[in-house]
Structure 1
Amino acid sequence: MLKKQILNTDFRKAQDVLANADFIEDDIILFDKMDATIAAREPRRMTFILVALCMKGHAEFAVDTQMREVGENDVIVISERHVVDNFKASEDLECLCMIISTRFFYDIVKNVSDMSTLFLFSRNHPVTELSVSEVDLFRKYFFLLKEKTAERENRFRRDVVKTLVLAMFYDLSNIIYRINVCSERKQSRADVIFTDFIRLVEGNFKEQRRVGWYAGQMSITPKYLSEAVKQISRRTPNEWIDSYVTLELRVQLKNSAKSIKEIAMDMHFPNQSFLGKYFKEHVGMSPSEYRQS
């Protein structure tokens, strides 16, 4: 039996397909049809975060080979690295959808504690029924975001949209809390390990970048930590650590007056040259080039 090839989605291609959608370059796209992004019969690995609300009709699709059904008032949350396949929808399907690039998302939630709840939520509940009031709240966010995204002459457009998405994330976290309280499902061992790992990374990434150190703090082996983290998030521990480090470097380069040498000291790099090599490897340009871009 031939295995299906898993294709990666692409934020730029989604922009091209959704020519009439409202978007901010490489950050967010808002549209009212789902079929342009995940309505594919071949497997597609998500490279962005999809949040969608079904307003009418129904659909079904597989997330990591597990079939899911979507109906009216259901919200869909699928984070990066998950594989979507076998999408089928009724002709009357209507959805409010937003695609958020991972870079834009991490930039928005960089100061939000316990970010791991979203990833655990989307893994265990990629489709969740909302209450009438929660549906109304999501609709308000969607249309306000759509309005603000379309204001291309607004010099603060990106910042306004970031603030609105952050507020929506907090309200989504409240929905997650409601679901977790009502759910009888117990967290698996991998869930617990992933949550503890992310909390450790959030508090120590400036000083510690070795997977072995985090495994030692959790009293497990690096191999066991890697297997659990990858099972939950489809990312390795090193990828999580690097994402936190590079995000902090970007923030400091853009939003502080610190010299690159001072940033290297703050982030516990051996020297400025080492930071430069690390940053170029992960971002594609030198710290100086990024600061001036």
Structure 2
Amino acid sequence: MNRKIRLFEVNVAQAKHVCPEGKYIDNDLILFEDITKVPLPTTPSRMKSLFLALCTSGNAQYTVDTKLHKVSTGDVIIISEEQVVGDYMLSDDCKGIALIMSYDFFQNILSGIHELSALFLFARTHPVFHLEKTQTTALENDLQHIKNKIMDTGHRFRRELIITMLKALIIDMSNVIYHFQQIGEAEQTRAEVIFRDFIQCVERNYRTERRVSWYAQQLCITSKYLSETIRSVSRRTPSEWIDSYVTRELRVMLRNSTMSIKQIAEELNFANQSFLGKYFKEHVGMNPSQFRKS
């Protein structure tokens, strides 16, 4: 008998409930100055957010999708949405800073910046990066500035300012990931290469193409093989990845442009406004007009 495995889920709302002293913005972002205060579940758990941490002293280890990873001073840890984490062990002298952010918030930060999504997705299979001393210091300073702005609740543009600061931080981190990727490119598996190429192809074409078969054709493989490979690497289907890019762009356009819904439908190659409305409601839970007013 097949039984669906239910795992504890880690997200910002849950982290706020367990550890209210964290510095947070709504249910989108929470920052912990002391990594030992992060509410780490005692059993394997599925991430429903993005986790980013910097180890400033000591060492630790944990598993991601059952694979063991070891962390020491100067290492950055990135755990992505849907990955299963567990088996935490922190040394007595382990210190660090950690961020948990909702995936929608993360995607909003990345909106409009070419290649960053693909670089961060590389971290799914390479979730630990080592920084040089100067890079570690710069990241610590960035996180401290972000913490200060999170606490500045009287700032009229607090949220927008923090998004801008996080965008700069993520660009710097993506640069580190890029160089790490170049060094380790020869060690990538065939599946990892296909995943990387697929995401890059989606980033270039999602505004006009949403068919899995089209992407498979561009990569010179079958749709079945593409689907099996993407799911094995990312725990998501190709359609889910394509839809995530399309819905992110729809959200941004609805919130940040004066284009009519009909014009947005034409821009993103929907057959008509009605079809866009059904698509958006299916993936976001409300129609475009409700989202624009919310």
Q: Shorter-normalised TM-score: what interval?
A: over 0.9
CA deviations over 1:237-292 (Å, ceiling 9, x no partner) = 11111111111111111111111122112222222121111111111111111010
SS at match of 2:200: helix
The question of 1:117 aligning with 2:119 is answered yes
Tell whether the 8 Å contact from 1:5 to 1:43 is kept in structure 2 after alignment: no
Deviation at 1:78, TM superposition (A): 1.0
Please tell me the residue identity of whatever aligns with 2:121. F
Alpha-carbon separation, structure 1, partners of 2:6 and 2:289: 39
| Residue number in structure 1 paired with 2:77 | 76
| Residue number in structure 2 paired with 1:57 | 58
Tell whether the 8 Å contact from 1:22 to 1:30 is kept in structure 2 after alignment: yes
SS at match of 2:17: helix
The question of 1:131 aligning with 2:132 is answered yes
Alpha-carbon separation, structure 1, partners of 2:231 and 2:110: 21
CA deviations over 1:77-135 (Å, ceiling 9, x no partner) = 11111110111222332210011211011111121222212111x23331222211111
Percent identity for Structure 1 against Structure 2: 43
| Residue number in structure 2 paired with 1:286 | 287
Bigger shift: residues 29-38 or 130-139: 29-38
SS at match of 1:84: strand
| Residue number in structure 1 paired with 2:172 | 171
Please tell me the residue identity of whatever aligns with 1:49. L
The question of 1:96 aligning with 2:97 is answered yes
Please tell me the residue identity of whatever aligns with 2:72. G
Please tell me the residue identity of whatever aligns with 2:96. C
Alpha-carbon separation, structure 1, partners of 2:129 and 2:252: 34
Tell whether the 8 Å contact from 2:59 to 2:70 is kept in structure 1 after alignment: yes
Alpha-carbon separation, structure 1, partners of 2:79 and 2:190: 22
| Residue number in structure 2 paired with 1:158 | 159
Question: Are residues 80 and 52 of structure 1, via their aligned partners in 2, closer, same or farther at CA, if it must alter by over 3 Å?
Answer: same
Please tell me the residue identity of whatever aligns with 2:256. N
CA deviations over 1:61-88 (Å, ceiling 9, x no partner) = 1111111122222211111111101112
CA-atom RMSD in angstroms: 2.0
Deviation at 1:186, TM superposition (A): 2.3
| Residue number in structure 2 paired with 1:142 | 143
Q: Calculate the TM-score normalised by the size of structure 1.
A: 0.93
CA deviations over 1:118-177 (Å, ceiling 9, x no partner) = 111x23331222211111011011101001111111121111111111111111122123
Please tell me the residue identity of whatever aligns with 2:213. G
| Residue number in structure 1 paired with 2:33 | 32
Alpha-carbon separation, structure 2, partners of 1:14 and 1:116: 27
| Residue number in structure 2 paired with 1:8 | 9
Bigger shift: residues 236-245 or 167-176: 167-176
CA deviations over 1:4-61 (Å, ceiling 9, x no partner) = 8532223211111221111111221111233555622311111111110112222211
Q: Calculate the TM-score normalised by the size of structure 2.
A: 0.93
Alpha-carbon separation, structure 2, partners of 1:21 and 1:113: 31
Tell whether the 8 Å contact from 2:28 to 2:102 is kept in structure 1 after alignment: yes
SS at match of 2:279: helix
Tell whether the 8 Å contact from 1:40 to 1:86 is kept in structure 2 after alignment: no
SS at match of 1:268: coil
Please tell me the residue identity of whatever aligns with 1:246. T
Alpha-carbon separation, structure 2, partners of 1:3 and 1:34: 32
SS at match of 1:167: helix
Alpha-carbon separation, structure 2, partners of 1:218 and 1:180: 20
Question: Are residues 10 and 72 of structure 1, via their aligned partners in 2, closer, same or farther at CA, if it must alter by over 3 Å?
Answer: same
Tell whether the 8 Å contact from 1:54 to 1:96 is kept in structure 2 after alignment: yes
SS at match of 1:124: coil
Please tell me the residue identity of whatever aligns with 1:265. E
Bigger shift: residues 30-39 or 133-142: 30-39
Alpha-carbon separation, structure 2, partners of 1:91 and 1:186: 34
Deviation at 1:178, TM superposition (A): 3.1
